Amino acid sequence: MAGKMVRRATAASRSRYTRDADARCQEVAIKLARLMAAIGFTGVQGSLAMNEKLATVGRQAEAQLAAVERKLELLKDADDKTWQDHKRGLEDGWEELSRSMKNIVARL
């Protein structure tokens, strides 16, 4: 009986984690879209070279977000044996994406 309760709690915490990660993906997608719009505005006002650099960093962040979303889907489908590995992969993806987003903000 105790084993079933632990599995239920684990399933509930995994469900909560993936739900929170889904919400975070949506929030980051909105922020990234705003940053990309700002990059376009900066390009109108600034130098072409700066705009190209910002656009490149922005595209990299978009690719990283897509990778995070794929990792999240893998996590949702993971079994007990692979869940922690997929979670670590997702968290690594978040870290990379976070660095890219900070890099964009710093350049704007």
Residues in contact with 43: Cβ distance below 8 Å, sequence separation at least 6, in sequence order: 50, 51, 54, 55
Query: Residue 4 has what pLDDT?
Result: 53
2: DSSP letter? H
Asked if pLDDT for residue 32 goes beyond 50, the answer is yes
**pLDDT tens-digit map of 55-108:** 888 999 999 999 999 999 999 999 989 999 999 999 999 999 999 999 888 887
CB 18 within 8 A of CB 76: yes
**pLDDT tens-digit map of 4-29:** 544 555 888 999 999 999 999 999 99
For residue 48, what pLDDT band results from cuts at 50, 70 and 90?
low
Residues in contact with 93: Cβ distance below 8 Å, sequence separation at least 6, in sequence order: 64, 67, 68, 71
**Domains along the sequence of the chain with CATH:** 2-107 (1.20.120.330)
Instruction: Write down the number of H helices and E strands in the chain.
Output: 3, 0
Nearest to residue 28, comparing CAs of 104, 108, 106?
Answer: 104
For residue 52, what pLDDT band results from cuts at 50, 70 and 90?
confident
pTM over 0.85: no
Helix orientation angle between 83-107 and 48-77, rounded to the nearest 10 degrees:
160
**Rounded Cα distance, 14 and 11, in Å:** 5
Q: When comparing pLDDT for 49 and 45, which is higher?
A: 49
